[in-house]
Amino acid sequence: MPEDAPGNPGAPPEGPDDGSRADAGNVAPVPPGRVREMQAKLHRWAGKDPCRRFGDLFNLVYDPDFLAGAWLRVRGSAGSRTPGIDGATVAGIENRIGVGAFLDGIGDSLKPGGFRPEPVRRVMIPKSSGKLRKLGIATVADRVVQAALKLVLEPIFEADFQPFSYGFRPGRRAHDAIAEIHYLAARWR
């Protein structure tokens, strides 16, 4: 996305400018900003032509740089220690399989179209009312693929939103919308 587009403040940092990913276990080095540059192109293309059709986005989903970026997001999330139905956690993958081999396996299954998501692990979690609600926990591999899809699709859809749209957008929340309403209402007095 362009520099003036809102980013995702909840995402883990991109890493140092030298392209190393020491904080990501044994993920191969990623060219600095390569994913961000591609996101900026996608955002720019989508903004220039709202009717544009993007025909070859799937190549980006299994691109090693996008998968590494997705891994960093999954690894930095609050649920990284929670296993899916396969019992694998982020730490377990880092210690047993290795992140590079794990991401290569995902890419190798995505490329020919053979990747299939696993069923989610269902758990019941308590609500504040005392009742329970169902929560589905995806496997780490499924979370990485979902994050890669988000890295590819988000800049395209962001280009369609108006600046005053706040729902389900990175770096925006309902409190920001309310604050803008208060600000605009105070200006008209």
SS3 at position 170: coil
Rounded average pLDDT over 159-165:
78
Is residue 118 in a domain?
yes
Is residue 87 in a domain?
yes
Is residue 4 in a domain?
no
Cα–Cα separations (whole angstroms), residue 142 to 71, 108, 116: 11, 14, 9
Secondary-structure breakdown of the chain: helix, strand, coil percentages, each rounded to the nearest 5:
50, 5, 45
Helices (H), ranges, 8-63 = 34-48, 58-61
* Euclidean distance between CA atoms 69 and 87, whole angstroms: 23
Q: Residue 23 pLDDT more than 60?
A: no
Q: Residue 179 pLDDT more than 60?
A: yes
SS3 at position 40: helix
3-state secondary structure 116-151: CCCCCEEEEEECCCCCEEEEEECCHHHHHHHHHHHH
- DSSP class of residue 171? T
Is residue 7 in a domain?
no
Is residue 1 in a domain?
no
Look up the domain containing 125 and give its range: 22-187
Report the predicted TM-score, pTM, of the whole model to 2 decimal places: 0.74
Weakest mean pLDDT among 50-54, 140-144, 164-168, 170-174: 164-168
**Count of the separate structural domains present in the chain:** 1
Cα–Cα separations (whole angstroms), residue 36 to 14, 19, 68, 79, 175: 9, 12, 12, 24, 27
Q: Residue 88 pLDDT more than 90?
A: yes
Ramachandran class of 145: left when φ > 0, alpha when ψ lies in -120 to 50, beta otherwise:
alpha
Is residue 173 in a domain?
yes
- DSSP class of residue 67? H
Q: Residue 86 pLDDT more than 90?
A: yes
Other CB atoms within 10 A of residue 129 CB? 7
Is residue 106 in a domain?
yes
Is residue 10 in a domain?
no
Rounded average pLDDT over 145-155:
93
